[in-house]
Amino acid sequence: MYRYSNGQISLSDFKQPVGMNLKENNRWVKKAQTIPWLEIEKRYAALFTNRKGNVAKPLRLALGACIIQSEYGYSDEEITLQIQENPYLQYFCGYPGYDDEKPPFDPSLMVYFRKRLTPEVLGEINEMILQDAKVRQAKEAESKDDNDSEDPPVTGGNSGTMIVDATCAPSNIRYPQDVSLLNEARENAEKLLDALHDPADGKKPRTYRKCARKDYLKYARSRKHTAKATRKAIGKQLGYLQRDLKAIDSKLSLGKSLAPRQNERLSTIRTIYEQQKYMYDHHTHSVSDRIVSVSQPFVRPIVRGKAGKPVEFGIKLDISVVDGWTRLEYHSFDAYNEAKNLQEMAERFYQREGHYPARILADKIYRNRENLSYCKTHGIRLSGPALGRPRKGETRDRTQDYRDECERVEVERRFSLAKRKCGMGLVTAKLRETAAHIIAMSVLVLNLRKIQCAFFACSFVLVVCFLIWWKTRYYSVDISYWSGCRWYPIVLKGRAKAAVPLACVDVRQFAGRSGCCEKNRCSKVMQGYDRQENAQRVHLPGRFRCMIVNLHKKSGRSHFKTSKNFMISGNRRLEDYSS
């Protein structure tokens, strides 16, 4: 059964011992404020249909522990100790106060948390977090002046950009080799035979385990593994494994039984023997649904064709990036063609937004006839060249192709960050369900990191806005920032009205009036900006290496207007760039 918690508490209500003073600007405090715990808890409580039994751990503790583990890569034992010792992590996990008397839960419960938080449930939680972030962003956008926005609101038709790509999250297994795989299967078969044998039944069947181990070490320790030596070693290990399986079958025929987990392991060993026997008899190295690990039989080889790592062993997944937000679209341990999922991703985009994307940025593998026909029917532009030879006299828009390729790199950055910082680089889970949970959780943590970076960037934007206002308080300055695939304006009129994440600053409409600045007495705008002696003396504070200033000026009743772009690379005056 599940019992609802008391909800989000403020940091001031968090019980702290004497001498402890937690900071509001801590990243875990900020991250706790960006997650809609109450909405997620309602979805989590629906998983518990039974009204009787022990009370389950609260959602905030279960989900918070999984987020912390994905963020730092702790083991199940270490995560309980870290929560016990760190007050900020306790606040993030919903503790009413600091308590280091005992661990929050037994480390084995992490397995049940991962099984309960399936990829489907985590996908819904991810959508809740994204919707909450969009609502917060919309409230910040409402505080700006709508008349100063250059982008008109979308009234109908397709809009937006969706970037899709696929990758493989490698599992933590030994690189598979036929001899070592058969040796591991033989050792597991001998353990099963030992479990089935009863000394009262008589003498244990002969297995030749010492000879088999000696033959394996002779091959493994040799410097060169020739094809002849490898085939001979495989043949010997197949013979030993066949003898063990026959002994196990004889024990089972006498009425012996194995535990469910042992039965699964025995089934895996039989499949490995059949596959290796088939490849040995037919002199081939490929077989369908090939098992590459005894402990993780669901892992399959994924051929990616990349330099240095042509084959990976793990789970293959598709993600989509829209406005910088990442979503897990599909995952499977079996190799598949990612182009088949493009139409489903576009339909899910339509269900979320109410319209199709204006363009989809993807690799060449997605540009097949079915996808091109689908995109043409729904008015979607799929990036890349057309199929077949180029038509006679056809000229490609190289600028558009270059822009699409540059913007498509965003999904590669998402993959890189997820594999380096969010636990997707090496999946250490041993079960199919828990391995899928690791992938979905890494995508969720990826979005939380983006929201957290946005909060820290807001503080920087406020400082920049104040400094620009102080130096240019006689002017009307519009600042816009680049996020995802579009510009979002920040309006400054005497003071900062809105501040949002900053990646690249673009100062637009630097409009001045005659008489409000020193040495600005000219009646013609062209003279005001093109002559060194009449240039405005305005200082920009700090270092802004990626700031673009667009100057627009009107002087009295004159209808002259000019616009110039200046790249500001330091604390220099505008007249230094007027020439």
The pLDDT assigned to 229 comes to: 95
Take residue 337 and report the two structure tokens written for it.
């063609």
Q: How large is the average pLDDT for residues 244-258?
A: 92
pLDDT in tens, 69-83: 999 999 999 999 999
> Is the per-residue pLDDT at 166 higher than 70?
yes
pTM of the model as a whole: 0.75
Q: How large is the average pLDDT for residues 542-552?
A: 35
Phi first, then psi, for residue 174 (nearest 5°) are -75, 145
> Is the per-residue pLDDT at 568 higher than 80?
no
Give the integer Cα–Cα distance in Å for 576 and 525.
18
CA distances from 101 to 21, 60, 81, 217 (A): 19, 20, 11, 50
The pLDDT assigned to 306 comes to: 75
Give the integer Cα–Cα distance in Å for 232 and 221.
15
Interior CA angle at 543 toward 542 and 545, to 5°? 155
507 touches 549 (CB < 8 A): yes
Q: Which of 64, 73, 70, 57 is nearest to 29 (CA)?
A: 64
For the chain, the C-alpha Rg in angstroms (whole number) is 32
Burial class of residue 332 (count of CB atoms within 10 Å of its CB; 0-12, 13-18, 19+) = middle
Residues in Cβ contact with 24 at an 8 Å cutoff, skipping those fewer than 6 apart: 11
Report which of residues 364 and 491 the model is more confident about.
364
Give the integer Cα–Cα distance in Å for 317 and 439.
8
pLDDT in tens, 344-394: 999 999 999 999 999 999 999 999 999 999 999 999 999 988 788 877 877
Q: DSSP character for 204?
A: P
Q: How large is the average pLDDT for residues 83-106?
A: 92
| 14-28, 46-60, 215-229, 458-472: segment of lowest average pLDDT | 458-472
Q: How large is the average pLDDT for residues 195-208?
A: 89
